[in-house]
Amino acid sequence: MSRIDLFKKDLEAKKAVKIIAGIDNFDVHRVKNVLIAAEKCGASAVDIAADADLIQMAKDVTTLPIFVSSTSPEMLLMAKNEGADALEIGNFDALYKKGVRISAKDVVDMTAKTRELVGEGIFLSVTIPGHISVEEQVELARELEDMNVNLIQSEGASVANVNNDGARGMLEKVNVSIANTMEIINATSIPVMTASGITPATAAMPFAAGASAIGVGSCVNKLNSSLEMIATVMNIMEKVDLKREEKIHA
């Protein structure tokens, strides 16, 4: 089984787990620890920033499918040429923290340019901005489906208006992401991944709502040690109940 076939199989089973190192995370040591945790715990894929050195390191460290995230079509072309297994337009959380907002038109333009540069032969995932209205998200999802995107990633937790701390706040945040996922699922036939706000406590919730995959980032990549990362990813995998049996061939 090839790298990307592993992810497709888990996606079809609606149990895919992508571990995200971060679109703006260029710390080689930290990224490597995230990848090792994902590998050891049997995740479905990893997601790293668009950097040639990171991609080559990832190919050496993990047998899992390697997603590369960027908002630059040119950087995604570079990632394809460096051997990425899948491309991701997004994730946008890092941009939101800088005050940047991505519009639906921005996403369509980035997707069209990326497909023009990389062709149809590589798996392409596209993030739908969580800050735009639900109606815009649904319209954008339908347009992306017509553009032959392979996967849609929904979000919402990072831009949710939450007034509570602790467990209540955590649930309120992830519920926004899940609600967006459900609206997109109801409007399209394309697989949907729920990202932003996912933790071990909430990992199973998107699947119950119909998601085909989850994207897990900050609850893993912000940890300070490899042991903490491994323990957290293992907890997530146990909650999802995804058991790895297939042999993966790089």
CATH of the domain at 146: 3.20.20.390
SS3 label, residue 104? helix
**Average of per-residue pLDDT across 128-132:** 91
Note the pLDDT of residue 166. Answer: 66
Q: What is the mean pLDDT of residues 234-249?
A: 77
What's the mean pLDDT when you consider all of the chain? Answer: 91
What is the arithmetic mean of pLDDT over 217-234?
A: 95
Q: List all residues 6 or more positions away from 191 whose beta carbon is below 8 Å from its beta carbon.
A: 11, 150, 151, 152, 212, 213
The C-alpha atoms of residue 169 and residue 158 are separated, in whole angstroms, by 12
Looking at residue 196, what is its pLDDT?
81
Q: Domain total for the chain?
A: 1
Tell me whether residue 250 is in a domain.
Answer: no
* Domain encompassing residue 183: 3-240
**Contact at 8 Å (CB) between 66 and 18?**
no
Could you report the per-residue pLDDT of 36-93, keeping only the tens digit for each? Answer: 999 999 999 999 999 999 999 999 999 999 999 999 999 999 999 999 999 999 878 7
What is the reported pLDDT for 52?
Answer: 98
For the full predicted model, state whether its pTM sits above 0.85. Answer: yes
190 falls within a domain: yes
What is the Cα–Cα distance from 75 to 91, expressed in whole angstroms? 14
Residue type, 65: P
Report yes or no on 247 lying in a domain.
no
The answer to whether position 249 is within a domain reads: no
Contact 3, 18 (CB under 8 A): no
* Average pLDDT, integer, range 196-201: 89
